[in-house]
Structure 1
Amino acid sequence: MRLTSGFLSHVFARGDSAHLPVLYSILEDLAQLAILADEESAKDGHIVEHLQRAMQHFQSAFASCMGDRNPDRLRSKKAGALHVVNVQMRVFFRADQTALIAKLFETVDHRLRHDSSNMAATAADIVTYRYWYARDCLLNDRYVDARYWLEFVLEELPVKGAQGDEAQMRMRRNVEWVLRSLIPLRIAAGTLPTNDLLASSPRLEALYAPVVASLIKTDLQTFDAHLANPDVERHLTNVCLLDLVRSIRWLVVRRVVKKAWLVAGAGTRLRLDHCQMALSVSQGSEVGGVETEAAVSTLIAMGLMTGYVSTHHQLVVLAKANTFPKVQDQLYTTFELWDVWNKTLRT
C-alpha cells in the first residue's frame, strides 16, 4: 500500500492522462492483494481490514482524477475517474461488499447528475458502469431498473469489428455476461429466448434451456430438478439471480393452471381439484388441496389470473374476459410482488 500511496502523492498528482494505465494496473493489483490478505487473516481469526484500507487509495485516486484542472481534455485525468470506480465495483462484487457498493453508487450517481460534462468518461467506461449498476439493481430486487440498464448495455456493446482472437473472445464474453442476467429478466416479462440464442453459448444453454423447456412443456418437475442442481444454484447465487429464476416458477404454475382451465372448457368456473390434479402431474408428486388453493390465490394476487377463490365451493371463479392477462401487461406489478415474495423467503 505504500507503493500506491507514493505513486498517488508523488507521481500521479503531478502527472496527466498518460499515467492512467499505470494507475489502473496498480489499483487492480492492490485490490487483489488486499482480498488475498483478508482471506488469510480470516483463516487465522484476525481482523479483516486490508480491503477497506485499500479502498481509501481508490477514493484518493478518484478524487485526484476528478480534481484535475488541466484544461486540455486529452491530457486531463478526469477521463480515468469512472474507470477507477469500475475497478472498485468489480472488487466489491467479488468480495461481496454490498454496503460499500451502495455508498459508492450514491456518490458516483451524484457526480454523474451534477458534473457529468466534466467527468470526460469514455463510452466503454460508461457502459461498464451501467452494467455494474444493473448488477446492483438485481442484488436489491429492482428488476425493472435492472432490465432497463442491461438492455442499454447490450445495445451499446460492440458485437462486430473486434480484431484478433483475444479481442473477439473478450467481446463474446462481455455479451454473454449481459445475457446471463438479461435472459431471466426477459423470461419473467414473458419473452422466451430463441434456441439459437441459447445455443450460442454452452453456459447460457446449461443455465436456461431447462427453464425454457419447463415453461413450454408446463413441467414443474424439470424446473425443480434444474434448480436443485448444486452447480446451477451456486452459479445463480454468485450472480444475484437465484431469487429471480426461482420466481419464474410461478409462470410455469400459471401455464399448468391455464392448461387445466382449457381442458375444463375455458369457462368462468374451475374446480380446485382439477388444478390440484394438473399441478400434481406436472410436479411429479402429490400436491395437497391447501397448497393448490394457495398457489391459485398467489397467481391471482400477482395479476397472472383474474378472479377469486371460493373456498366454500372449492372453485375458482374467473373473469369472462382477460382471464389470464399477458405477462407483459403485468410486468411492473409482478416484479413488485416478486420483490415482496423474495424478501419474505429470506426472512
Structure 2
Amino acid sequence: MTSTHEGEIPVPNPHATAEQVEAARHDTKLAQVLYHDWEAESYDDKWSISYDQRCIDYARGRFDAIVPDDVQRELPYDRALELGCGTGFFLLNLIQAGVARRGSVTDLSPGMVKVATRNGTSLGLDVDGRVADAEGIPYDDNTFDLVVGHAVLHHIPDVELSLREVVRVLKPGGRFVFAGEPTTVGNAYARRLADLTWKTTVRAMKLPGLSSWRRSQEELDENSRAAALEWIVDLHTFDPVDLEKMATSAGAVEVETASEEFTAAMLGWPVRTFESTVPPGKLGWGWAKFAFGGWTTLSWVDANVWRHVVPKGWFYNVMVTGVKPDPSPLTSFDRAGS
C-alpha cells in the first residue's frame, strides 16, 4: 500500500503566474518547485510515460545497460529510493520489473510527490513519498539497498553534495543508478531543435485552415512560461568523464558511465515540442505509434551502429552507477590479501 507523509507535503501550485516565473529566475529551488508542480498532472502524457510493459521494459533496459550481469542475477533489492521522482516513472517501473521489492519516492515538488504516490497506489505497490531536497535527503545513514533517479541530477545545484547524500543513505555495498542525464553536446543540439520546432509550428498554425490545430493563445502563453522555466531548471549538462569524477569524489566505488540516444534524440525533441503546441488528443493513435516507433528504431541504430563510431559524450543521455564501499572485515581482509 502506498502512503505519504501528509504533514510534510505542502499544497502544490499548478499554475505559476508571470510574476512568480520572474521571481524564479533568481531562485533556483523556487523554479524547480514551480515548474514541476506545473507539469505534475500532465507530465506522464507529455513524455508518453506509462506503467505497462512498454515502460517497464524501458526502465529495466536502462538499469541493465549500466549494472553488471552478476548483480542482476541477485535481484531484487529489498528497499529502494527514487531521488527527484517526478511521477515515479523510474522506480515504479523498476519495482514492476523485479529490481526492487519496495521503495520510497522523494521530490522537491509537492505536486510530483502527490502524483507519484497516487501512481504507486493505483499499481498496488509498496511505496511511500516525501517532499525532500536532494542535497539533504531526509533518511538515516545506511537505509537503502538501491538509490535511483531519472533525469534528476541536472536539476540539482550541487550535484556532488547530492551524490554524497546518496552514498550516505545507501547501505554498505548498496548501489545507485542515475539515467537520463543530458550531455553537454547533446543538450546543445536538443535545445536548438526544440526552439526551431516551437517557432516554426506556432507560425504555421496561424496559416488559414489550421486554426483547429492551434492551442488557444492563453494555453500557448502558459506553455511559453513553462518552457521558460524548463530552461531555468535545467542547471547542468555533463561530460561522462566529469560525472564519473564527481561520483568518485562523493565516495562511490565501481563507478561507470554509459550513454545513449543520438539520432533518437534528434527525432524525440522536435516530436515532443510539436506535441506541446497541438490541442490534447488532436494527433491520435497513429501519431503516437509513429513517434514511439521512430524513436525505438533510431535507438536501435544508435546502440548498434553509432555507439561504435560516435564518442560517448556526443549522445544525448548519460547514465552513471556506483557502489557504497563495504568496510566489512571480510572485504578489508580480501583487499589486504590481494
State the TM-score, normalized to the length of structure 2. 0.24
State the TM-score, normalized to the length of structure 1. 0.24
The structure number with the bigger radius of gyration is 1
Relative to its length, the structure with more helix (as a share) is 1
Relative to its length, the structure with more strand (as a share) is 2
Higher relative contact order (CA 8 A, sep 6+): 2
